[in-house]
Amino acid sequence: MLLHLAAIGVGVLVLAKAADAFVSGAAALSLRWGLPAVVVGAVVIGFGTSAPELLVSGIAAAEGGPDIALGNIIGSNIANLTLVLGIAGLVGTGIAVDSATIRREVPLGIGATVLFGWFVHDGLTRVEGLLLLAALVGVLAFILLSGRGRSDSFTDQAADNAPEQSDVRRPGLAAGLGLLGVVLGAQALVFGAIGVADGLGLSGGFVGMTIVAIGTSLPEIVTSTQAASQGRTELLVGNLLGSNMFNSLGVGATVALVAPGPEGAANLAVVGVGAMIVTSLVALLFLTTQRVVSRTEAAALVTGYVILLPFLS
């Protein structure tokens, strides 16, 4: 048991450090070409911070732990729009969202989560996995095409300060080494989580929705808190919505293709999926009401996550 607990601790630590290096390197490369902040947040940072979820869930599914894999996706989606969004809102002075993001990125992020929840409630099939993958390709194309021509002060400043072509090797190396660290950290986390679940008699779904999900959400917590403290709310919102889109479509498709079939834990299909959809709709309400998440609403999101945890067991 001590070995498995140590593996979880090492895995979480390596994931947090490696994912930060991967995201920073990838974002620096993307900003070199002047992409808008919300596109960088949704595609590069949002999807980049979901690399831990992708590898953890993929490895867990391949090693016979589909409940941990699905629990990780569901728990991460819930944590992103409650715990992470709430912490970021408390760190800053609230989270303002512009009308373009409300029209485009918010519906896509919430819609992807609801689609995944609809598919997973009675067990994922390979056909549904292919549909999720096709939806991911469509979402990526839409975000990139709609982001063309969009600019903001953050993008302009970052592009001015971005490295020249000859200096691209450094962020490229950081991204590559970070990705390698994510792979190793994910392997350690899955090994530890499966061992703890077996040793304590806990369901894989519960471990996935709590221990594993919080561990793989650390990159989102770090990047969102940094963005909030710097007033980069568009980057923050894009990060969280992009992460949930990739979790639901990309990671969900991976699990469906690797280990299709119904999940064994009732709390995963009923409580977990229900909580994921409800928290997504609450976050949608907060994001669209007066186009700002107030500090009161942020505190409510964090409180709601803490209250929800016992019901996920």
| pLDDT reported for residue 163 | 44
Distance, in Å, from the CA atom of 138 to the CA atom of 170, rounded to the nearest integer, reads 31
How many C-beta atoms lie closer than 10 Å to residue 300's C-beta?
Answer: 17
Q: How do the pLDDT tens digits run along the chain, 313 residues long?
A: 788 888 888 887 887 777 677 767 766 766 666 666 556 656 666 677 677 788 888 888 888 778 888 888 998 899 888 988 898 888 877 787 766 666 677 788 888 998 999 998 878 899 999 999 999 999 888 877 776 555 444 444 444 444 444 455 777 787 778 777 877 877 787 788 778 777 877 777 777 787 788 777 777 777 777 777 777 776 677 778 888 888 999 999 999 999 887 665 666 777 888 899 999 889 888 888 777 888 899 999 999 988 888 877 6
Whole-prediction pTM value?
Answer: 0.79
Angle at 199 between CA 2 and CA 122, to 5 degrees: 130
Question: For residues 89 and 4, what is the distance between their CA atoms, to the nearest angstrom?
Answer: 34
| Residue of 116, 126, 133 lying closest to 272 (CA atoms) | 116
Domains plus CATH for the chain?
42-150+190-312 (1.20.1420.30)
Residue 61 burial (C-beta neighbours within 10 Å; 0-12, 13-18, 19+): buried
What does the alpha-carbon distance between residue 65 and residue 189 come to, in Å, rounded to a whole number? 13
Count of C-beta atoms within a 10 Å radius of residue 282: 16
By residue count, the chain amounts to: 313
Contact 76, 276 (CB under 8 A): no
Which amino acid does the sequence have at 241? L
Q: Which candidate, 210, 220, 221, 187, places its Cα nearest to that of 14?
A: 187
Residue 247 contacts residue 75 (beta carbons within 8 Å) = no
Identity at 273, one-letter amino acid code: V
